[in-house]
Structure formats: C-alpha cells, structure tokens
Amino acid sequence: MLLVYLHMSLSLNRCDGLRTCGLNTQGLSTPDPCFGTYKYYTTNYICIPAEIQLFYPHVENGKIQINAANYGRTDKITCSHGRPSEQLQNTNCYSPNALSFVSKSCNGLENCEVYATHMIFTDPCFGTYKYLAISYFCLPHGIREYLSALTCEHGTVIHIHSANYGRTDSSTCSTGRPPAQLAKTDCYSLNSHTTVASRCEGKRSCSILASNSVFSDPCFGTFKYLYISYSCVSKCKCYCT
C-alpha cells in the first residue's frame, strides 16, 4: 500500500497521508497570475510506503527543543516485527544529517511532523531496515536565548535547558566571514551542555568563552558560536527545623 506525499504547500494539508486525493482548483491562485490565459494546476507528489513512520513531536505551553535524533538502527528489536534477520543485523547505523534536519524542522515550534524515510535522510546503511529515533524536551515560555553572557534578576538563578558550540545556520555570527566558514550547518559539540551547565547552573550570572579551548572542536574550518537557551528560576531556599 502506498500513501501520497505532496511537495506543494497548497495541497499539503488536503492530501498528505491519503491514498487518493481530489482538489477543486477554483480559487487556488489569488490574485490571478495571468489574466486572460486559460490556466491549469499542477503539483508534484510521490507515493511512499504506508509503513513509513510519521513522527509528531508535540509540546504544550512551550517550544520543542530537539536533543538528539537518528535515522538508522542501533538495536535489533525496535521496528523489527515481520522483518527478515538480515535487515536487522547492522546496529551501528547512523544518518549524518538526522539531527540537523529534525532540529531545523521542529526547534521553536509547538508541534511538527517528520517522515522517517531515506527520501529525506541520508541512507546510512543500505539493506538495513531503519527507523527514526528522536529525543526532545519542552522549553517553557520565557526562555532566554543568548550567545555567551547569561544573567538573571535578583532572587533568581540560571537554569540551563540546552547549549551548543558549533553552527546550525549560515547567518548567525557571519559578518565578514567567507562562505566556506559558514557552509556547514550541522555542527554540534557533544560536550556543550555539560560544560555550560557545570559553569552556570544555579548562578545569578555567568559568562563563557566560546572557543575550542573550552569546547572540543566539532567541525574544523567552520566559524563557530556558542548558543545557550536558559531560564531564570527562583533560588532554592532551605530551612532547618
């Protein structure tokens, strides 16, 4: 069985995930792009197997923050029902663009959808039956986003939600930099959160030098920056009785 997967935004909400779909083209284009010309409507779509997983990360009263993502296989049990043994043997299967793609699709939103298919992600291990694993959490409203210096009001302290030393877009901290230093946008230092939390968690103010001497260099030749999301929480008071 195959499902329709459309690329045109006009048809997306009406047809995605259905086996068949019909559209009334009346009024689809406003204003008229070429008055007096008899027009027709075209769209591009592909049919994907119905077994392809569709993930709906969702949070309430906050924003999605992707913590980790992988399209591949890391065990022989997950999504293994009815699959031949040879499709489950490779448990060291990681797609290099999974975290970057999912982060760009979902970060900062209340909900999003991601298809687990090699038509979106790089196929890291041909012949292995793959699945998409996503780890995410909810950033409460009022989260502050800074590049290096953190500060909170009197009576509150810093609580770190996420941090990354690297590059996830080509525009941040890009002034005067050659394109070659901005091209890689899936650059993540794995010790970012641990390093920032150990220096700033529970303090009223904190500053960290965004440099390779503090964090490991995750992508040589790329101009990196430090991104931190945090909130200010009430300072814990302890009473002895």
Which CATH architecture group holds 52-141? Sandwich (2.60)
Tell me the domain boundaries of the chain.
1-50, 52-141, 144-234
pLDDT score, position 26: 62
Choose among 140, 153, 168: nearest CA to 229.
Answer: 140
154: tokens are 């009197």
182: tokens are 């901005």
Q: How far apart are CA 93 and CA 72, in angstroms?
A: 5
Q: How far apart are CA 113 and CA 204, in angstroms?
A: 37
Per-residue pLDDT tens digits for 32-65: 777 778 777 777 665 544 344 555 566 666 677 7
Convert 217-236 to b/e letters by CB count within 10 Å (16 or more is b): ebbeebbbbbbbbbbbeeee
Choose among 114, 96, 117: nearest CA to 185.
Answer: 96
pLDDT score, position 107: 78
Contact 88, 48 (CB under 8 A): no
Within 13 Å and on the Cβ side, how many CA atoms surround 203?
13
pLDDT score, position 51: 42
Contact 176, 199 (CB under 8 A): no
Per-residue pLDDT tens digits for 86-120: 999 999 998 888 888 888 888 778 788 888 888 88
Is the domain defined by 144-234 classed in CATH 3.40.50.1390? no
Task: Name the β-bridge partners of 66.
Answer: 136
Q: How far apart are CA 10 and CA 98, in angstroms?
A: 26
pLDDT score, position 44: 63
State the pTM of this model.
0.45
Contact 98, 134 (CB under 8 A): no
